[in-house]
């Protein structure tokens, strides 16, 4: 296992500025966000994949360990853009793509078919698809996650444990999810607030690392901490990096 940080940690900075911040914080690995509201857009990737590859390689010596993929297009254009992103991932030697699951209310069979299609496309390029666990989406229920991952051979889970804590009177048991995990997002969380200062929440990083190790997980622990008023954002990122690295010694 190794520690990484998402470009989502600096939503108001350019990727170049974000890379500079992460290098200053002594991170070595980064996840890039690919969405129409971010610097590298799926619509631009399909239009000029070569240019997108070059931009994804300009990371100030940070290693790109994963891509977070949020495609706004619908229908065939959605799958065409996803295929272009898979080609980008192969060219940049990245094997992990995280995609959001459908919003609550999405028919189960429809979600299964979408994930099957994504996995089929990704496998042609040697890429792995991880379904993100998110409140308000199909993946908010651990049992549903298990059923979908069992139905869709090759589908993984991008686990965000905060979404199984925040807003829940009785957080569900998620140990059964670890066998599906191929990517992890981390911050500290309480029932009342999705993000709190590191150490003020209930996320048990040690327990998470131990469960992952039990399932021979060897990929990233990706920090996703947003800037907040009244909080020293850089200090929080540094603190969680040091904490996670201490657990991996």
Q: What tokens were used for 54? A: 């070059």
> What are the sequence ranges of the domains in the chain?
2-247
CA distances to 12, 65, 129, 184 from 221, rounded to whole Å, are 23, 10, 16, 5
Q: Which CATH number fits domain 2-247: 3.40.50.620, 3.20.20.150, 3.40.640.10, 3.30.70.980?
A: 3.20.20.150
Cα separation, 4 vs 219, in Å, equals 10
Answer for the pair 22, 47: CB distance below 8 angstroms, yes or no: no
pLDDT tens-digit readout, 7-16? 999 999 999 9
**Which tens digit of pLDDT belongs to each residue from 115-173?**
999 999 999 999 999 999 999 999 999 999 999 999 999 999 999 999 999 999 999 99
d(CA 76, CA 108): 20
User: Can you tell me the mean pLDDT for 233-245?
Assistant: 97
Please determine, for residue 249, whether its predicted confidence score (pLDDT) is greater than 90: no
């Amino acid at each position: 296992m190794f520690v990484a940080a998402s470009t989502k940690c600096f939503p108001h900075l350019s990727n170049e500025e974000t890379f500079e911040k992460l290098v200053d914080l002594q991170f070595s690995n980064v996840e890039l966000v690919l969405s129409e509201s971010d610097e590298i857009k799926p619509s631009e990737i399909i239009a000029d994949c070569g240019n997108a590859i070059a931009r994804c390689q300009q990371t100030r010596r940070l290693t790109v360990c994963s891509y977070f993929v949020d495609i706004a297009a619908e229908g065939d254009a959605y799958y065409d853009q996803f295929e272009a992103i898979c080609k980008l991932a192969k060219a940049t030697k990245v094997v992990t793509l995280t995609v959001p699951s459908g919003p609550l209310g999405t028919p189960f069979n429809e979600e299964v078919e979408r994930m099957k299609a994504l996995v089929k496309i990704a496998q042609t390029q040697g890429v792995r698809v991880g379904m993100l666990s998110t409140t308000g989406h199909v993946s908010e229920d651990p049992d549903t996650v298990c059923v979908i991952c069992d139905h869709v051979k090759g589908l993984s889970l991008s686990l965000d444990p905060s979404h199984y804590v925040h807003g829940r009177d009785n957080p569900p048991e998620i140990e059964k999810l670890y066998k599906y995990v191929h990517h992890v997002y981390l911050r500290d969380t309480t029932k009342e607030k999705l993000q709190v200062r590191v150490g003020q929440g209930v996320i048990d990083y040690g327990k998470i690392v131990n469960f992952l190790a039990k399932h021979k997980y060897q990929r990233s622990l990706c920090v996703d901490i947003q800037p907040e008023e009244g909080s020293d954002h850089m200090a929080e990122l540094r603190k969680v990096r040091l904490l996670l690295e201490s657990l991996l010694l």
